[in-house]
Structure 1
């Protein structure tokens, strides 16, 4: 197009065609002017009623929701740098942790602590990757949101719904890419365990994506959002219940332990793979195995399930309770994001 109008790299100084004058002397310009020079088009008409809207916005609520959902899904589909990067990292991390812990044993004192470290790293690290990668995208799109909200294009609620729904399929697909090589390589078995693990890990990673969006909506720039977000994440990592273990956290800090979303996610996956020992089973589950190499401070003949409950305060019987807390944290942080979208505005004008 630049070449056609004479502004491209091949522009010649000898080409003095004035395209404005050419257009003004054409029949298309005369036709356009005749249509514009009418009552009710470029000036008020005494014969036409005043244009008024019965609602605050011209589009209906369902139209706003449909177009915003369509817009977010198209934006994510076209942003390969965001989604393909996290898909690649998910699969790479699955292979890396799988190769690191291939043929690992979890029945000794050192083995179970190493296994807990593995769960801590995989759960926390991939969640943090999602958190840090979503903030630049959310901050960049927030500028468009400010402009369109000022024009009353749509309700902030439907923008919030679009940004919420669009993350779900991408998060679930990225976590299955992580688990596909990781789950069998580290020695975990069972289709039901795999899908339950996948669901719980996806909920955890989804919370990280939503937390990144919340920081982007609250803070004026992506740099400030990153600083505050990382600070809060470091506090959560400290009180996740791995090091120090949940049962060893001092009483004065228990409230921090209880309000840490990561605590419930780690307890979910740990009790799922290490804390399961059904009474009607054959005793082959990891949780039923008697531990070896225990220090003198722990009783003899302690099973993996008992160790998990006594030391880390993670119990298989609390899986669905923890799942409810994980979903509850998502709801709370999404409500905070909705309030930030509605009432926080960092424009300078």
Structure 2
């Protein structure tokens, strides 16, 4: 779990951070082209989002093939494909979040500051550092709107919630499946829901980016 949490968070943040300077520079060019009436803002924003998809897919394949077998997950087609799907969705919403942060702020530097704060909160409430059962009631709402929490839920649920190996820890003796359900709330029933939620985050962030390009203008004359 620690390897999945760290790698997805690190690579996701790397994706979001690397796309921000590109979006910031190209937005300046877009203002000029928009004034000349070359194309509509929505077409530009949609193209900016879609052009990232092939890169994310290639990154997912290279990362997934290496790490899946290195970690030692069960070698079945279904689990391997689910691993790739959740990894792809994770990289996608991180990338779109980085684009959205630039779109909603006047400068790349401000976007980086706001993004850093979000990453810290996502890391804290992902359900790994503080399991869901230990999160205070007045903060549990943030767990459910945390994209990284749904990434972990999808990845772990798709790989480990059918493992019947007996483990013994302090205060617990039972199967891996029972441990994950008891301490983290992970079970196989959440695989589909997790995928839908991650798709929703990707659409939300990309939609917010498109709206920012359409309605916000930070150009200084």
TM tier, smaller: over 0.9
| Contact 2:46/2:210 (8 A) holds in 1 | no
Tell me the distance in 1 between the aligned counterparts of 2:91 and 2:211. Answer: 22
Matches within 5 A, 1:196-345: 196-275=82-161, 277=162, 287-292=163-168, 294-296=169-171, 298=172, 300=173, 302-345=174-217
- Please report how far the alpha carbon of residue 191 of structure 1 lies from its aligned counterpart in structure 2 after TM superposition: 2.2
Relative to the length of structure 2, the TM-score reads 0.96
Structure 2 stretches lacking a partner, 5+ long? none
Aligned partner of 2:218 in structure 1 is 346
Aligned runs of 1:78-157 on 2, under 5 Å?
116-157=1-42
Shift of 1:185: 1.7
Segments of 5+ residues of structure 1 without an aligned counterpart are 1-115, 278-286
Note the 1:18-37 alignment, pairs <5 A: none
* 3-state secondary structure, aligned to 2:220: coil
Deviations 1:40-75 (A, max 9, x none): xxxxxxxxxxxxxxxxxxxxxxxxxxxxxxxxxxxx
Please report the RMSD computed on the Cα atoms of aligned residues, expressed in angstroms. Answer: 1.1
**What is the aligned residue count?**
220
Q: Secondary structure at the match of 2:167?
A: coil
Report the Cα offset of residue 166 of structure 1.
Answer: 0.8
SS in 1 for 2:18: helix
| Structure with larger Rg | 1
- Measure the CA separation in 2 of the matches of 1:136 and 1:228: 14
Work out the CA distance in 2 between the residues paired with 1:185 and 1:201. 15
Give, in angstroms, the shift of residue 237 of structure 1: 1.0
Instruction: Decide which of 44, 48, 55 is 1:163's aligned counterpart.
Output: 48
CA drift of 1:261 comes to: 1.0
The correspondence for 1:183, drawn from 59, 64, 68, is 68
Q: Give the SS at the match of 1:291.
A: strand
Higher normalized helix content (fraction of residues): 2
Shift of 1:291: 1.0
Contact 2:122 2:147 in 1 (8 A): yes
Higher relative contact order (CA 8 A, sep 6+): 2
SS at match of 1:288: coil
- Separation (CA, whole Å) in 2 of partners of 1:182 and 1:338: 33
Quote how far apart the aligned CAs of 1:118 are: 1.1
| Secondary structure of residue in 2 paired with 1:252 | coil
